[in-house]
Amino acid sequence: MSEARLVVGPFNRVEGDLEVHLDVTEGQVASARVTAPLFRGFEQMLEGKDPRDALTVTPRICGICSISQSAAAARALGAAAGMEPTPQGAAMAALIHAVENASDHLIHFNLFFMPDFTRPAYAGQPWHRRVVDRFTAGQGGAVRAAVEARAQLMHILGLMAGKWPHTLAIQPGGVTLAPGPREKVRIEITLRAFRRYLETTVFGGKLEDFAGIETVSSLMRWDRGDAGLFIEIAQALDLDRLGRGSGRYLSFGAYPLAEGHGFAPGLWEGGPVPFDPSAIVEDLSHAWMLGPAAHPSTGETRPDAAMRSEAYSWCKAPRLAGRPVEVGALARQVVDGHPLAQALAGGGVLARVAGRLLELARTQVLMEHLCAAIETNARFMSGPVGRIENGHGAGLVEAARGALGHWLRVEKGRIAGYQIIAPTTWNFSPRDAAGIPGPLEAALVGAPVGEGEASPVAVQHIVRSFDPCMVCTVH
Amino acid sequence: MSQIETFYDVMRRQGITRRSFMKYCSLTASALGLGPAFVPKIAHAMETKPRTPVIWVHGLECTCCSESFIRSAHPLAKDVVLSMISLDYDDTLMAAAGTQAEAALQDTIDKYKGNYILAVEGNPPLNEDGMFCIVGGKPFVDQLKHAAEHAKAIISWGACASYGCVQAAAPNPTRATPVHKVITDKPIIKVPGCPPIAEVMTGVITYMLTFDRLPTLDRQGRPEMFYSQRIHDKCYRRPHFDAGQFVEHWDDENARKGYCLYKMGCKGPTTYNACSTIRWNDGVSFPIQSGHGCIGCSEDGFWDQGSFYDRLTNIKQFGIEANADVIGGTAALAVGGAVAAHAAVSALKRAQQKNDARKAAAKTQSSKTRSSVDKNEDA
């Protein structure tokens, strides 16, 4: 087998539908094309609606990161209406959002990522039996524990946000429920239980110890909990070299609070560089979309029904100053300045998954702080969003999977334009007009493909290390 | 069929004790609105009946239904039901990948022809020959029709499969189409909501798995046991509605006192669902309890009825119980149209047949879907 073409997909345990086309030369991926085979057209539906309805419609883009969508919509709407949440309202919105992000990281690790190592291909490995016990889909001990722990953690969402998925509580002015002492105590208890789960099961040690790791070599010595099992596997399979990234990372900044972001915004290219949101352009050269490349504030969504042959995805190709960027938990931690994340920058599967575990530990600490700071007699909503006649605004937030932006334009009280760039739109974007591949397409180059492997396991690991959310991507 | 395990076998294999099993049976009975007398019946059915295979497919959707489902309150319900499902085919949760996964689907169809339940999450977009949603190189609508051909019944999970949901919002760019408009020759149970409540989902599926028949459905095809009352009927803020005490602005004094959200656009008075009784996230709360009005996500067309924050008009206050069904109808007409007509008629009918329906749920099946399901009952 010197040359071959492979189509990998559909991927299971990925949120939504995805296909990857691979050109394989000499047992390695020579080039990859990532296809999002699904299109829903949310941006078109929003046009002509009351702007406030974006708060209800956009969360339904995704049942896994619906709060991120609602947080972005609330921010965009607030920017257009010229209103800010109250400090306590912002803190509660951050707490609600953090619960969802932490849940997503937990599910990715336990249900989507680790089960790949239970494959018979790894049967000879000394860790295989332990992985099978812990991570067999639907039955492994870790899988059940994670689903249970997440359901418990989400009591906070039930309490503060009424229901999850598709929460309605986050508004431009804050949140709809003013938590009283009862809510505060229940949140505290829930967080305490979640910490216990994380420390006994996921990390096998104090969260602060894991979050305090500064170098890759001390990370590789972490041998406790399911995190330790992952590190052992990563070492055995050299997962850091698999699917290496460009080292260019973007974060819009997570959890905007009165005193600043929980995790800072910015751009990283070997070091912090200035980030200019106006340099974002969505390129449509290889997407089944019509229209010019444009900044999302003026962009449009017109599907190309002819599905022209030079294009190959429903996903647009967002670029920052003409270049692709990687987004996600690793990007966020790198940009926020965590020493371990910065030491992992540019890495592959190990770096992305370790970045997510690191963020999970840090998010728990952040949630505890937010809860302790709840002032039950404060104001949690600055006021109602009245009708917005004309205006525009952007809502830039961080979903679990990375930077999420909503760009809203209102004319005569109705939505005149609504553009969304989801995290996986960045990571899984197709090529742009200059032929530069998206981050996943680039990361797949060089991945080993075994003789006769129809669905190469290395490709599976790389794709899943990004934690893709295809329904958000193609909204 | 004889090689297929029973539910009880599946549970035993997973190390579930007899005691937990009985507890599960009684919880199921109460979730389904059945009396304690049904507990041994459920237990007997689960010990002796071969488990019903379930195939779970995803079309144009957001996976919120799966998400809701795996957080059902009773751990046994989700472990057992979930593991039974993943034994067969579910492309979000199962272990296999790629062509292997497609083969698993075909195997399940072949093996259980005419006996499996097809659970559909999301819906097929029909524009451009279905090209907006492609599974394994083929339009999802083809997979759906193929899997439906030999199914004994179909569950339409959530607003997407039941009605279209937000992706079908005007101008419905992909022509997202509810399942019953594509599959017309099979019994379809609609379990609307965006997403449906976890306990409603496990309740419906457990009922079908246990009794091997469809639950009693209303005229819109929704299980009566969960969709026969409006949010408003059992809303804990209802006394404030009756007393004329309303929230006027977010976070005003009235909001803090937990007054009625009707003026903030709450659709509770026209929405048939169990949110105000079963509640969400393990019964912790529901949207109205979190201070935001209901948006009516389990009603057909909820996504295109004017702003979610416009209040319902023409709703009467006092004496509402005397003519609840009529009120439900009128109020919904103000926002909706066709939906309301349905709701009112079915509600009236339901009121007349209430007692019969309850018995029917356990014993006989009055709906015309019975014959096609029962054919397989003792196969």
| Helix, strand, coil percentages in chain B from 3-state DSSP, rounded to 5 | 50, 10, 40
pLDDT tens for each residue of B244-300: 999 988 778 888 888 999 998 899 998 999 898 888 877 788 989 888 889 888 888
Which of A45, A155, A178 has the CB atom closest to B169's CB atom? Answer: A45
Q: How far apart are CA A72 and CA A243, in angstroms?
A: 30
**pLDDT given at position A241:** 94
Beta-carbon contacts of B86 under 8 Å, excluding residues fewer than 6 positions away, are A137, A138, B93, B94, B95
Q: Which fold has domain A3-474?
A: Cytochrome-c3 Hydrogenase; chain B (1.10.645)
Contacts of A347 (CB under 8 A, 6+ apart): A240, A244, A245, A330
Query: Residue B331: what pLDDT?
Result: 39
Rounded to the nearest angstrom, the minimum Cα separation between B87 and chain A is 9
pLDDT over 90 for what percent of chain B? 12
Gap from A16 CA to chain B (nearest CA, Å)? 7
Residue with the larger pLDDT of the pair A359 and B352: A359
pTM for the model stands at 0.80
- Per the CB < 8 Å rule, is B92 touching A15? yes
d(CA A57, CA A47): 11
Residue B243 confidence (pLDDT) above 80: yes
Question: Could you tell me the residue ranges of all domains in chain B?
Answer: 7-212, 231-354
Q: Domain residue spans in chain A?
A: 3-474
pLDDT > 90? residue B96: no
Asked if the Cβ–Cβ distance from B92 to A171 is below 8 Å, we say no
User: Mutate which of A38, A315, A376 to test chain B, going by most B C-beta atoms within 10 A?
Assistant: A38
Pairing relationship of beta strands B134-135 and A391-399 according to DSSP bridges: unpaired
Task: Summarize pLDDT for A333-357 with one digit per residue, the tens.
Answer: 999 999 999 999 999 999 999 999 9
Residues in chain B: 379
The average pLDDT across A38-54 equals: 83
In tens, the pLDDT along A290-314 reads 989 999 999 888 888 888 888 998 8
Inter-residue contact A24 to A50 (CB < 8 Å): no
Q: So what's the pLDDT on residue B85? A: 52
Residues from chain B that touch A379, judged by Cβ atoms under 8 A, are: 251
**Chain A interface includes B69 (CB < 8 A):** no
- Partner-chain contact A7 B136, CB within 8 Å: no
Q: Are B182 and B144 in contact (CB under 8 A)?
A: yes
A287 Cα to chain B: minimum distance (Å) = 13
Whether the CB of A159 is below 8 Å from some CB of chain B: the reply is yes
Residue range A239-277, pLDDT digits in tens: 999 999 999 999 999 999 999 999 999 999 999 999 999
Q: How confident is the model at residue B325 (pLDDT cuts 50, 70, 90)?
A: very low
Model pLDDT, residue B169: 78
List, for residues A211-226, the tens digit of each pLDDT value: 999 999 999 999 999 9
- Residue (of B151, B146, B127) closest to B60 by Cα position: B127
Digit-coded pLDDT (tens) for B340-355: 334 333 433 444 444 4
**A368-398 tens-digit pLDDT:** 999 999 999 899 988 777 788 899 999 999 9
Measured CA distances, A218 to A145, A206, A221, A244 (Å):
27, 15, 5, 20
* CATH number given to B7-212: 3.40.50.700
Q: How many CB pairs under 8 A join A and B?
A: 240
pLDDT in tens, B43-89: 888 788 777 778 888 776 666 666 666 655 455 555 555 555 544 55
Determine whether A238 is exposed, middle or buried from the number of CB atoms within 10 Å of its CB (0-12, 13-18, 19+).
Answer: exposed
Per-residue pLDDT at A218: 97
Radius of gyration of chain A (CA): 21
pLDDT single digits (tens) A158-198: 888 877 777 788 999 999 888 989 999 999 999 999 999 99
What ipTM did this prediction achieve?
0.71
pLDDT score recorded for residue A447 = 94
Question: What's residue B83's pLDDT?
Answer: 52
Instruction: List the Cα angle B299/A152/B208 in 5-degree steps.
Output: 50
Homologous superfamily of the B231-354 domain (CATH): Cytochrome-c3 hydrogenase, C-terminal domain (4.10.480.10)
Tokens, residue A302: 């017109």
B80, B284, B302, B305: which to substitute to probe chain A, counting the most A Cβ within 10 Å? Answer: B284
Which residue in A63, A159, A455 is closest to B98 by CB distance?
A: A455
- Would you state the structure tokens that stand for residue A355, as one six-digit string? 């970045």
Q: Do B63 and A471 touch (CB under 8 A)?
A: yes
In this complex, do B71 and A154 lie within 8 Å of one another by their Cβ atoms?
Answer: yes
